[in-house]
Structure 1
Amino acid sequence: MASSQASSPGPAQSRRSARNRHPASDDKKHAEVRQRAHPKESSSRRKSQKSTAEHEVSASQETTHEDDLCPICQVLLYRPVTTKCNHTMCEFCMAHWADVSVNSQMKIVDVDEVPETFDAVSGIEAKCPMCRTQTTASYNPDLAARLADDYPVTTRERSLEEADSLGEQGGIQTLTVYVGNRHRYVADSETANCHEWTFFVKPSRTDIIEEVQLVLHPTFRPSRVIRQRAPYEVRRLGWGTFAVTAYVILKAGYRWVSSEAENSPDGAEKGMLPLEWMLDFEGFGGKGSMGGVRLKVKNDREWDGGVSDEEQRDTREWQRVVRSYQRDGVYEPPAEED
């Protein structure tokens, strides 16, 4: 065991060898991540250097060792995370690398699997930017403490840069949404409707969900079902499979960060996201399946325009009532005069 550990390369050696193996293919992605991770790097560094003359002198005397540089942003590691394949980088850089590298297609899993809430560090599952191994990352507190001791002034500068970078994100948050269906075969000799299924939408956060509209095959009545609180699901008995579309509508002040997002029924920009799921009667022994996808939402603080939260909620509630009356034929809005 000891000889095996002695012969294995350390983190620094692994980073250097990995860079040699991928000298050109990573440049574009690394540059993109570096730009996104540190958009105000130079300006924030100037701010910190202007704080005191003592800090300027100390910072100029701190020479960062090559092994203590992040392989992505090429500056001192800050809040370092280490992957299972033994590569180390900034937490912020790893999170952004995952954003530009991870395939956003749904991962199909067992319908009984417990949905996991996404976490920006331990929840990352992407190809390592250094060796291309599918991996996860975890915070390295021992290394962080050693770097803070060795480079106290540079660490303070990096802290300012990180604060600026986080501010640039403008309230963008990540959540996980699972869509899928349960299935049970029901013996029925009188009709062909022998498949009982339950379609569902399971977001990792429900506090920002206004409602979920479920659109079924037109042969079902009603073919559109609205759920304004969890669980967001519908159960039916049928004979075949078809695609169900779920429109996930966010509460006021939030919008989807997605090119597929649409304006919500009350006009909120990118407030609604359609998710499509083909009913599954055969997966995992015939009990159904579900798919999970990571999505981003943006919290816009400017949306209220001076209107109180209570007034905004009342307005949206009234708009929902009007829409339901229109669907049921109870209310028809007056025609606009020319």
Structure 2
Amino acid sequence: MMPKRKASTSFRKETDAGHNQKVEATPAEEVEEIDQDDICPICHLLLYRPVRTRCNHTLCEACMAHWADVSITSQMTTVGLDDQAVVLLPHEIETRCPMCRTSTTATFDPLRESALRRQYPKSFKAREIESTLADEDDVATKIEILTVYIGNQHRLIRAYDESNNRHDWTFFVRPSRTDLIEEMQIFLHPTFRNPRVIKQYPPYEVRRLGWGYFTIFVNIILKAGYSWVSSEAEDTPDGAPKGKLPLEWTLDFNGRGSQGRLRLKVRKEKEGQEAEDEEEREEVRRLWARQRVADPDWGDPEDVS
């Protein structure tokens, strides 16, 4: 058993003047003996909304999210073709563990939270109040991490009918969170039939036969209520700010192909913002639809060539 430590149930509240003021409980009420195992290794307070990593470390959800935010880099890393994206559920966090530095995911542990609530009622209540009074504009709690694999598989085939198409390749984009993705817009070389491909559901892949390599461009469009935290991000045609992230990949015909990995940041807007944004985007789609009826030759951003 790890040693216990005293934890204060003091918390901070915002006064009418806008300053933080520390509120202390009375000495008779403030002290609870807390096991060291129940203290977050980052903030050194009682665990609040605990998340457990695959490497079996436990931290506060907000501490883990903040760690993921500050430690992430958007630089592409070349990885083996057999390296697979970890499919995450909503509210799961993927990053390097702040304790052992291994790549891991963290998932909210409701059973642990219930046990902490029962075992430390006063300290837990103080942590709950402190969290409620936290600044609502704290970006760290709204940033989510999205791991994206982009690359291509490849195999040589025998050419037929004097064709030069000897390369059978599959281009792919594999995100760890498909629930955030509205669609993938994939742009092939203009010599291909239907060079613009829209994928709204996984797998986000395009398979073709060809004779030479070229660069493929792709736009990853987020769902309403989310935006990319990247200087490369652009607004979408229907008005979503920072909702489109352009990427590119040059086909690799060496051996089986190759892939790169990016760890990207996504910001979730305020609660309820998703519905407002989707309503605005739906209005734009209705305008496009009316324009198509009025002018059949008019092309809009949702058309697939």
Normalising to structure 2: TM-score of the pair?
0.68
2:282 to 287, 310, 313: 313
Partner-residue secondary structure (3-state), 1:235: strand
Match of 1:154 in 2: 123
Match of 2:236 in 1: 264
Classify 1:317/1:254 alpha carbon distance in 2 versus 1 (closer, same or farther; 3 Å): farther
1:118 to 75, 84, 88: 88
Q: Please state how far the C-alpha of 1:127 moved relative to its aligned partner.
A: 4.9
Count of residues paired in the alignment: 282
Match of 2:226 in 1: 254
Classify 1:111/1:302 alpha carbon distance in 2 versus 1 (closer, same or farther; 3 Å): same
Classify 1:166/1:85 alpha carbon distance in 2 versus 1 (closer, same or farther; 3 Å): farther
Q: Please state how far the C-alpha of 1:262 moved relative to its aligned partner.
A: 0.4
Amino acid at match of 2:128: S
Classify 1:291/1:330 alpha carbon distance in 2 versus 1 (closer, same or farther; 3 Å): same
1:213 to 176, 185, 198: 185
Classify 1:111/1:303 alpha carbon distance in 2 versus 1 (closer, same or farther; 3 Å): same
Match of 1:181 in 2: 152
Alignment of 1:98-113 (within 5 A): 98-106=68-76, 108=78, 111=81
Amino acid at match of 1:183: H
Alignment of 1:279-318 (within 5 A): 279-282=251-254, 286-295=255-264, 296-300=266-270, 301-302=272-273, 309=279, 312-313=281-282, 315-316=284-285, 318=287
Cα distance in 1 for residues equivalent to 2:90 and 2:2: 22
Where does the alignment leave 5 or more consecutive residues of structure 2 unmatched? 4-10, 301-305
Partner-residue secondary structure (3-state), 2:64: helix
Amino acid at match of 2:45: V
Match of 1:90 in 2: 60
Alignment of 1:1-338 (within 5 A): 42-43=12-13, 56=26, 58-62=28-32, 69-80=39-50, 89-106=59-76, 108=78, 111=81, 115-118=85-88, 124-129=94-99, 133-134=101-102, 136=104, 148=117, 151-164=120-133, 168=138, 172-188=143-159, 190-282=162-254, 286-295=255-264, 296-300=266-270, 301-302=272-273, 309=279, 312-313=281-282, 315-316=284-285, 318-319=287-288, 330-331=297-298
Q: Please state how far the C-alpha of 1:128 moved relative to its aligned partner.
A: 2.9
Instruction: Judge conservation of contact 1:262–1:273 (CA < 8 Å) in 2.
Output: yes
Let me know the Cα RMSD of the aligned residues: 4.5
Where does the alignment leave 5 or more consecutive residues of structure 1 unmatched? 1-9, 13-40, 334-338
Cα distance in 2 for residues equivalent to 1:252 and 1:70: 34
Q: Deviations over 1:212-242 (max 9, x none)?
A: 2212234445443333444433222222323
Cα distance in 2 for residues equivalent to 1:124 and 1:180: 21
Partner-residue secondary structure (3-state), 2:13: helix
Instruction: Judge conservation of contact 1:176–1:292 (CA < 8 Å) in 2.
Output: yes
Instruction: Judge conservation of contact 2:30–2:122 (CA < 8 Å) in 1.
Output: no
Structure with higher strand content: 2
Cα distance in 2 for residues equivalent to 1:70 and 1:303: 32
Q: Please state how far the C-alpha of 1:246 moved relative to its aligned partner.
A: 0.7
Q: Deviations over 1:132-185 (max 9, x none)?
A: 642546778898677556642111111233345595457554444332222221
Classify 1:195/1:123 alpha carbon distance in 2 versus 1 (closer, same or farther; 3 Å): same
Match of 1:5 in 2: none
More deviation, 181-190/205-214: 205-214
Cα distance in 2 for residues equivalent to 1:219 and 1:255: 33
Classify 1:255/1:228 alpha carbon distance in 2 versus 1 (closer, same or farther; 3 Å): same
More deviation, 62-71/270-279: 62-71
Structure with higher helix content: 1
Q: Deviations over 1:22-51 (max 9, x none)?
A: xxxxxxxxxxxxxxxxxxx6227989969x
Q: Please state how far the C-alpha of 1:194 moved relative to its aligned partner.
A: 0.9
Classify 1:115/1:321 alpha carbon distance in 2 versus 1 (closer, same or farther; 3 Å): farther
Partner-residue secondary structure (3-state), 1:42: strand
Instruction: Judge conservation of contact 1:215–1:223 (CA < 8 Å) in 2.
Output: yes
Classify 1:85/1:271 alpha carbon distance in 2 versus 1 (closer, same or farther; 3 Å): closer
Amino acid at match of 2:298: Y
